[in-house]
Amino acid sequence: MLQLLLIAARNLVQHRRRTLLLGGAIGAVTALLVILIELSTGLRATILRSATTLMTGHVNVAGFYKVTPGQSAPVVTQYEKVLATVRQTVPEIDYIVERGRGWAKVISDTGSVQVGLGGVDIEHEPGLHKVLRIVQGNLDELAQPNTILIFEDQAKKLDVKVGDTLTISAPTPRGTNNTLDLRVVAIAKDLGLLSAFNVFMPATSLRALYQFREDSTGALMVYLKNIRLVPAVHTRLRNALQKAGYTMMDEDPKPFWQKFESVNREDWTGQRLDITNWDDEVSFVMYTVTALDVLTGALTFILLVIIAVGVMNTMWIAIRERTREIGTLRAIGMQRARVLWMFVTEAFVLGLSTTVSGAVLGMLICALLNAAHISVPIGVQLFLMNDRLTLLADPVKIFLSVLFITFCTSAISLIPSLLAARMKPITAMHYIG
Amino acid sequence: MTFVALALLLAGSPANAAMNQEQMVQLLRTLDDRQQNNGDYKSLVYLEQKEKDKTDVVREAIVYRRSADQKLMILFSKPKSEQGKGYLRLEKNLWSYDPNVGKWERRTERERIAGTDSRRADFDESRLAEEYDPSDEGEDKLGAYSVHKVSLKVKDGVDVAFPIVKLWVDNETSNILKRQEFALSGRLMRTLYYPRWQKLYSESKKGDFWYPPEIRIYDEVEKANSTIVLIKTVDLHSLETNIFTKAWFESKSR
């Protein structure tokens, strides 16, 4: 085996120009694949970090309350009883946040935007301090009643700054119009799609706007110590709440605001609980990750086909150049299988060395891009959920990519190698190329 | 008869002599009665919507009403993008239909009609006495008109879009000239002006039926937004029996 490796390495060195050209192509494809993987992983991590703070817990116990069949509100009534069941059922809890939910029009003197309202108790929201980057004002002032936090783009649309007053207008669950005047206390940096439709206000003010009782909340956002436990906790919570006598909504992996239409169409009234996880609540933004993954897959496939053609051509040339050598080797006793492995090993060595180099190059480029803190245009921010380009290495995925490309280059070399192995020694020795 | 009663009621309440509660309730009943025809109703309606930074949109719709079971139907016919869309009120449920998706959606009775500043109540029969408790705010001047100002507060257990309403009733003609609607917080939400009123003889009522051919609605929260409702060709003849059904609506939507 060592002998074969030696022959392969010497051959590659001997045909330096050809090796560099083909190896460069394989390395470039690997580097590109690594960059795309890091972009996708970075995007997923950003969404997970931002979304699980801004709009969802790892698992959410939420639901709808309907006064009449046609009017629903995203409310959990008597939430303390629900909370007790949740705590009893899930020992893996890290912490729980109670978050008010609403959908309203925010109006300034010059404009208006339709947004989702997050009713927060800022003293018990450690995550918001970590995720939100405040550009104006003070996040802690959300502890005062009738205050609001908005995002940069919303501030621009509404033409307001910290200290200005905004009016929120929304119908109560009984359909009666209500308004509330709120003072802007903080403006945060945009977080793409996640911030485009969200504002935060004190939970007490949200209750006042919707005329909710003190014992109601929008959702219990449950954070787990280990996010891998989400599916198990999701199922366990659903069963436990059902057993505790709560009526549950049918499983529907969508964010709560996409459920109003179907909930309003149903005939029931009263309270129904709904269990969702972070994946369900951010499904409307995860398409960007899926799109990027599909793009990565398609691009990799096309580039791999080009590389395969290149590898095969190179092997053909090598075999043609070395036909007499093959004949001699066969004449002095080298078996067909060994000839086959000789060429496959050459492709393998070329593939492995260049994919490893490409992966290292890709990771270096990613590290440089991260260090440069590159700001992205607003249009791109919508999809990246961040104002900066964030790339994150996933060692397992990168290792698998290196293996895959190496395997492909080796596998494709099997066809010319097989033909080389099947040559008759006498014919090969007499070959004049 | 109702006009005479209302005129007497308003004439008998000089600026310094406020109406008592019973008189106020009677006033509301009379205002409601003038706008009810105790039968079927059909009208062609135009809604002109003005919104800030948007092109004005004019919609054409046909409004069908039946007093007996408080049914209401609004079927849009123009512009082309709105054709076949509409609302159907059945047993206190307001359903919205979109022929593009072929689905009925249950909506709150108090939501905006087609995204304009108008509400279902603007097209429906007046039920002020049923929904509100009145209080007298005395005489007032509305431009050149002498008016009686009435403040209304929603009755307990009744769901309305605006819990507080103020009305300006013309002393001379007994028509509502202006209406202001307030949110729970007390903030003014809409101001409506009724520049003209017309009457028709109603066979089913055996008396006069009054309607405003034009309603100007101003959004008081988003000040730049407004809607003008023009009510044309009012027909008080009986409608087909089975008209207020989803099937009938869908057949007209196609």
Q: How far apart are CA A364 and CA A356, in angstroms?
A: 12
Contacts of B163 in chain A (CB under 8 A): 176
Cβ <8 Å between A171 and B109:
no
Give the containing element (helix H, strand E) for B145: strand B145-154
Residues 214-253 of A with CB under 8 A from B: none
pLDDT tens for A159-170 read 999 999 999 999
Q: How far is CA A180 from the centre of its chain?
A: 36
Residue A380 corresponds to which amino acid? V
Contacts of B180 in chain A (CB under 8 A): none
Contacts of A211 in chain B (CB under 8 A): 184
Contact between B85 and B73 (Cβ < 8 Å)? no
Owner of token pair 């003609």:
B173
Question: CA A99, A207, A195: angle at the middle one, nearest 5?
Answer: 45
- Mean pLDDT in residue range A75-96: 93
Cβ <8 Å between B162 and A177:
yes
Is the pLDDT at A332 greater than 60? The verdict is yes
Q: How far apart are CA A53 and CA A410, in angstroms?
A: 46
Closest residue, chain B, to A166 (C-alpha): B221
Cβ <8 Å between B159 and A70:
no
Compare CB distances from B222 to A112, A172, A177 and report the shortest one's residue: A112
Contacts of A108 in chain B (CB under 8 A): none
Q: How far is CA B196 from the centre of its chain?
A: 14
Using the Cβ of B80 and the Cβ atoms of chain A, whether some distance falls under 8 Å is answered with no
Using the Cβ of B112 and the Cβ atoms of chain A, whether some distance falls under 8 Å is answered with no
Contact between B23 and B14 (Cβ < 8 Å)? no
pLDDT tens for A98-148 read 999 998 999 998 889 999 999 999 998 888 888 888 999 999 999 999 999
Using the Cβ of B93 and the Cβ atoms of chain A, whether some distance falls under 8 Å is answered with yes
A264 min Cα distance to partner chain B (Å): 6
Q: How far apart are CA A266 and CA A3, in angstroms?
A: 74
Q: How far is CA B129 from the centre of its chain?
A: 14
Give the ipTM: 0.83
- Do the bridges between strand A219-224 and strand A59-68 make them parallel or antiparallel, or are there none, so unpaired? antiparallel
Query: What pLDDT is recorded for position A283?
Result: 81
Contacts of A179 in chain B (CB under 8 A): 183-185, 187, 189, 221
Question: CA B25, B31, B37: angle at the middle one, nearest 5?
Answer: 125
- CB within 8 Å of B82: residues ≥ 6 apart: B59, B76, B114
Rounded mean pLDDT of chain B? 88
Contact between B130 and B101 (Cβ < 8 Å)? no
Q: Comparing A21-25, A173-177, B2-6, which segment has the lowest mean pLDDT?
A: B2-6
Q: How far apart are CA B228 and CA A207, in angstroms?
A: 34
Query: What pLDDT is recorded for position B16?
Result: 42
Q: How far apart are CA A5 and CA A348, in angstroms?
A: 9
Is the pLDDT at A269 greater than 50? The verdict is yes
Question: For residues A367 and A373, which has the higher predicted lDDT (pLDDT)?
Answer: A367
B115 min Cα distance to partner chain A (Å): 13
Q: How far apart are CA A100 and CA A98, in angstroms?
A: 7
pTM of the prediction? 0.76
Closest CA to A130 of A54, A220, A181: A54
The DSSP secondary structure of A114-170, one letter per residue, reads: EEEEEEE-GGG-HHHHHH--EEEE-GGGGGSSSEEEEEHHHHHHHT--TT-EEEEEE
Compare CB distances from A169 to B92, B105, B221 and report the shortest one's residue: B221
Residue A326 Ramachandran class (φ > 0 left, ψ -120 to 50 alpha, else beta): alpha
pLDDT tens for A279-324 read 888 887 777 778 878 888 888 888 888 888 887 887 788 777 778 8
Phi–psi pair at A404, nearest 5 degrees: -65, -50
Q: How far apart are CA A249 and CA A345, in angstroms?
A: 59
In sign, the C-alpha dihedral spanning B204, B205, B208, B210 is negative
Q: How far apart are CA A171 and CA B107, in angstroms?
A: 12
Cβ <8 Å between B189 and A179:
yes
pLDDT tens for A11-58 read 888 888 888 888 888 899 899 889 988 888 888 788 777 788 888 999
Cβ neighbours, 10 Å, residue B233 = 9
Helix axes A16-54 and A336-371, enclosed angle (nearest 10):
50
Q: How far apart are CA B204 and CA B214, in angstroms?
A: 24
Q: How confident is the model at residue A432 (pLDDT cuts 50, 70, 90)?
A: low
Residue B202 in 3-state DSSP?
strand
Compare CB distances from B221 to A107, A174, A265 and report the shortest one's residue: A107
- CB within 8 Å of B131: residues ≥ 6 apart: B154, B155, B158, B160
Burial of A205 (0-12, 13-18, 19+ CB in 10 A): buried
Contacts of A174 in chain B (CB under 8 A): 159
A168 min Cα distance to partner chain B (Å): 10
